[in-house]
Amino acid sequence: MASSSFAALAALAMSCLLILLPCSVSGWSHGGATWYVPPEGAGTDGGACGYQRDVEKPPFSAMITAGSPSIFKNGKGCGGCYQVRCTGNAACSGFPVTVVVTDECRGGPCLAEAAHFDLSGKAFGAMAKPGQADNLRKAGSIRVHYNRVPCNWHGMDIVFKVDAGSNPNYLAVLIEYEAGDGDLSAVELQQRGGGWASMQELSGAVWKYNSRSTLQAPISIRLTSGSGKQLIASNVIPSGWHAGRTYRSIVNY
């Protein structure tokens, strides 16, 4: 019985490799992972999702990843949370770490594998046993188990950062700290006295709206999560808003 079970698992794993699809065993899927410098940091920039230097600060705290196409999803995967644990290396602790998708992983193993995480050096090392982070990073590329999990921002409400290029007729906002799904499938805005209008994805977590006339504030924003859950941040962009400013809502999923 034990040998037949092992054979079944081996066959399942082989089929995943052959057809390049994420494969799940006991709730966890198989993938690959690499890391990028610096060893204890978040990388050189905020990545394709547009989070900029926020990835270095709490609550991101550099526990971030770039995702292969199946994870990044052309930007729709930005903000999604995953638990990742490494396997097959003596330095692996076997315990998962939680990371947030903040960037796109391009080329190499990111295209060759069904699911690949290019982790920050800090997140990669966090999968190691105590004192073994450097040894694990020396491996460079490892196999991992991963699982999509709800995002938990520990009481933080959703934040809207108005892009520096915004003007009275154009609004672009970086949207951060969505709990639950973490990612967004649609964003709409409502000007004072108007109806809902769709915003367009500019880059990952940044959404924009071009108006033919001056935008009428206060402006409410309606979010639709990846699983279709809706939430309204009423009047979150106030009258007298300015480009470059951050506006905090009082809502979250």
Residue 26: what pLDDT?
A: 54
Q: Are 205 and 176 in contact (CB under 8 A)?
A: yes
Q: What are the residue ranges spanned by the domains of the chain?
A: 26-149, 159-248
DSSP states along 3-61: HHHHHHHHHHHHHHHHHT---EETTEEEEEEEEESSTTS--SS-TTTT-GGGGGSTTTT
Q: Is it true that the peptide bond before 96 is cis, omega within 30 degrees of 0?
A: no
DSSP states along 170-226: EEEEEEE---BT--EEEEEEE-TT--EEE-EEEETTEEEEE-SS---SSEEEEEEET
Rounded Cα distance between 245 and 149, Å, is 31
SS3 59: coil
Q: Name, in order, each residue with C-beta under 8 angstroms of 116's C-beta and a sequence gap of 6 or more.
A: 31, 32, 33, 34, 67, 68, 71, 105, 109, 110
What does each of the 253 residues of the chain score in pLDDT, given as a tens digit? 433 333 333 433 433 433 334 444 458 999 999 999 888 878 767 799 999 999 999 999 999 999 999 999 999 999 999 999 998 899 999 999 999 999 999 989 999 999 999 999 999 999 999 999 999 999 999 999 999 999 999 999 999 999 999 999 999 999 999 999 999 999 999 999 999 999 999 999 999 999 989 999 999 999 999 999 999 999 999 999 999 999 999 999 9
Q: Report which secondary-structure segment, H or E, holds 29.
A: strand 28-36
- Tell me which residue of 144, 153, 138 sits closest to 63, measured CA to CA: 153
β pairing state of 97-104 and 206-210? unpaired
Beta bridge partners of 36: 120
| Tokens found for residue 143 | 């196999």
Which superfamily does 26-149 belong to? Answer: RlpA-like domain (2.40.40.10)
- Tell me which residue of 30, 115, 37, 113 sits closest to 72, measured CA to CA: 115
Chain-centre distance for alpha carbon 18: 27
Question: CATH for 159-248?
Answer: 2.60.40.760
- Residue where the block lists tokens 């188990």: 145
| Tokens found for residue 148 | 């999509």
